[in-house]
Structures are given as C-alpha cells and as structure tokens.
Amino acid sequence: METTQQQLLEWLYATANGNRAAFEKLYQASSGKLFSVSLHLLRRHDWAEDVLQDAFVRIWHNAADYHAEKGTVMTWMISITRYRALDLLKSRRIKAEHLDVTDELPDEVKTGEVLGLTREKVKLDDCMEALVPEQRQSIQLAYLNGLSHHEITEHTGSPLGTVKSWIRRGLTQLKRCLEG
C-alpha cells in the first residue's frame, strides 16, 4: 500500500508533538526510499545506514520546522538525508586528503582502473559544471536524489514542462560534452 502525502503529513505533525508511534510509522513508510537516496550518493552500505540514522534523528528533532508550502514531506526528508550524506562525503574527503588511497591497491590496478575512473569523474564534473544552473540542479535532483519530475517541480517551484525541458536539454548537452 502506497503512503499518501496526507498520511506522511499527519505522522510528521504528530512526530513534532513527540508522538513516537507516529514517528515509527513515518520511519517505516519512508526509510526505504531515504536509504536508497543515501546509498546512491555514498555507494557504501555502512555509510548509508549511518546517514539514514542521522537523518531520522534530525527529522525527529526538526519535525516542527517543516513547512508544507516549500514542498512535500518526502521531499523535505530527502533533502535532509541528502545533506547528511554530502556532509559525510565532505568530512571523509577532508580526512582522505592526508592519505593516498591508492597506496592500498596493487600497482596494476593503480595505473589502469583508478586513473581511468578518475578521468571519467573529472570529465563528468566538468560537463556538469558547463550546464546552466537550472539544468544541473534538475539533473542532480532526478538522478542523484531520485526525485520524480513532479517532486522536482515542488522543490524548485517551476512548471512541469520547464523541468522536463531542463532535464532533456541538460542530458543532451551532457552527452555531447562526454562524447567530445
């Protein structure tokens, strides 16, 4: 059975009033999707679990701060999860700057696979940066955060047709850039 926005809203408001049973229902209804968002960003099961736990602690403490006019409950919770995941990545990157992660790899892997992946990542980052901000944001929300086109319209406040155009044009430009 699919959980509706109204059910999520009721559970979130009850959570804001300290209702643990409502919080448990909110968790059961949304943890799978939020874990998926976290795992997609982090690519590590253990980190994704940590982020999910941290996100739900924040949801519990900040439930009263939710404003329906800014988007759906799910979009709000995905944003919290996404920012927690990005914070974790940033902190891990800062710690990793002092380490050479290729020291642990066999020499034949270092020269081939790692360098190839690094070049691809740099190329993708460069191509993403070349997009106009609206295209970049829409693509990130759709493909990194797993939001639907309708959720992106709620998040950005832009019409559905505009969001679809940004994504379509952005993907076309990305393809050209990556092939070039």
Expressed in angstroms, the distance from the first to the final Cα of the chain is 46
Please state, in angstroms and as integers, the Cα–Cα distance from residue 129 to each residue in 124, 136, 147, following that order: 9, 7, 20
Confidence (pLDDT) at 172? 93
Q: Which of 10-14, 93-97, 162-166 comes out lowest in average pLDDT?
A: 93-97
- pLDDT tens string 145-169: 777 898 888 888 899 999 999 999 9
Q: CATH 1.20.1560.10: does it fit domain 1-99? A: no
In Å, what is the CA distance from 26 to each residue of 22, 57, 80, 94? 6, 12, 14, 34
Report the pLDDT value the prediction gives residue 112, as an integer from 0 to 100. 46
Q: Percentage of the chain surpassing pLDDT 70?
A: 84
Full-model pTM: 0.55
- pLDDT above 90 coverage of the chain, percent: 44
Q: Give the lowest-confidence range in 35-44, 45-54, 71-80, 106-115.
A: 106-115
Domain boundaries, the chain: 1-99
Task: Give the residue with greater pLDDT, 116 vs 177.
Answer: 177
The predicted structure's pLDDT at residue 14: 97
Cα 70–Cα 89–Cα 127 angle in degrees, nearest 5: 75
103-156 pLDDT tens trace: 444 444 444 444 455 667 778 888 888 999 899 889 888 877 777 898 888 888
